[in-house]
Amino acid sequence: MNASLSLRDRLARQVRDIPRSGIRDFFDIVSTMRDVISLSIGEPDFDTPWHVREYTVFALERGATHYTSNLGYLELRRALSRYVARQFGAEYNPETEILVTVGVSEALDLALRALLNPGDEVLYHEPCYVSYRALVLFAHGVPVAVETRAEDGFRLTRAMLEARVTPRTKVLLLNFPNNPTGAVMSRQDLEEIAAFVREHDLLVITDDIYAELTYDQPHTSIVSLPGMRDRTILLHGFSKAWAMTGFRLGYACAPAELTEAMMKIHQYTMLCASSLSQKAALEALSRPEQDVAEMVEEYRRRRNFIASALADLGLPCTRPLGAFYAFPNISRFGLSSKDFALRLLREEKVAAVPGTAFGECGEGFLRCAYATSMDKLKEAMERLARFVQRLERERR
């Protein structure tokens, strides 16, 4: 062994040079403190619906503890095919075009590794979920961030994409409803994006994990638009709308050739998703409208409250139209997003995530997840009000 090289120097560059998740780093700090109200983790505070938990126990007692097909239980894939046709407006063959994965995160990793050759560029919009840039790099691709702006409602436009596309661009990665901004895209917005994709002959990966969680208009997926199904990989899962984060179950829907490519990577790495989680997902799909509708109504109530509370504090915030995040602008206090979040945590014991965790253009913003009880949300806003007043006194 060459003694002149440290172990760190021997790591793969695409792993060594990527920072840890800004969300998880912040969560580690929170875990060492007491009496903190956390608005930091994007996890529903609801328990998984009772009938899903009960069915999972029943499946365990019946011995559903063995490997499944690499693609997942066929019965589940058939149920997913029906649900996707109804919810997203696209039809998929359950035998060849649906792959059950360990959460949407694995599905995205598989999709990128199946598509990218070294040097291929991936357009994605920021602010965005923390893993997008990292996963592109892990797949030896080139991440190309497209900045969205608060004054546009954090929507993505064709003009923004045209300014960043190159002959090396291969994939467009979308996430609406968006984490961390709560932004959504209208059908008209997406039609312009779809025209851009077709003109430049791109493939699309659409992360629709928050599809059910919209408040003022139904979700439209780009996969439902003419000519888009056969150039799109649709990603979805059960973590958010069904409060099943710990089950770690997602799925990808794509043309058979793409599904086969993703399945091969999945086959050699993960093998299959948990059999019990697949059984739980099958039960969740037996009555999705009732389970999801109750949660959405509560999230809408919380959304309305936090939007009003932030406005009263003079913190500009684009009204969230989906997901369960508010993304207020805190730049007027002259603190970086990280310093603001750390002081809020230490002085008032409220945890929120610095906007820079979601890309450089998140500087000056703070992500507040309202996936917590209304009582805690009210207390958090009272503490935030005290903190804002303190900062204002310091500036005088």
Which residue blocks in 99-179 are alpha helix, DSSP H?
A: 103-115, 131-138, 158-162
| Every domain of the chain and the residues it spans | 8-47+290-390, 67-287
Q: Which residues contact 231 (CB under 8 A, 6 or more apart)?
A: 197, 198, 202, 203, 204
Looking at residue 316, the DSSP 8-state letter turns out to be -
Give phi and psi for 275, each to the nearest 5. -65, -40
SS3 call for 239: coil
Fold for 8-47+290-390, please state it.
Aspartate Aminotransferase, domain 1 (3.90.1150)
Spatial distance between the Cα atoms of 74 and 197, rounded to a whole number of angstroms: 32
pLDDT score for 3: 59
User: Of 206, 286, 280, 205, whose CA–CA distance to 243 is shortest?
Assistant: 280
Spatial distance between the Cα atoms of 344 and 36, rounded to a whole number of angstroms: 11
Summarize pLDDT for 339-366 with one digit per residue, the tens. 999 999 999 999 999 999 999 999 999 9
Spatial distance between the Cα atoms of 20 and 357, rounded to a whole number of angstroms: 10
Angle between helix 103-115 and helix 256-269 axes, rounded to 10 deg: 110
Using only C-alpha atoms, the chain has a radius of gyration, in whole angstroms, of 21
For the ranges 89-93, 175-179, 205-209, 215-219, the lowest mean pLDDT is seen at 215-219
Summarize pLDDT for 309-347 with one digit per residue, the tens. 999 999 999 999 999 999 999 999 999 999 999 999 999
pTM score:
0.94
Multiple choice CATH, 67-287, 3.40.50.1820, 2.40.160.40, 3.10.20.600, 3.40.640.10: 3.40.640.10
Q: How confident is the model at residue 10 (pLDDT cuts 50, 70, 90)?
A: confident
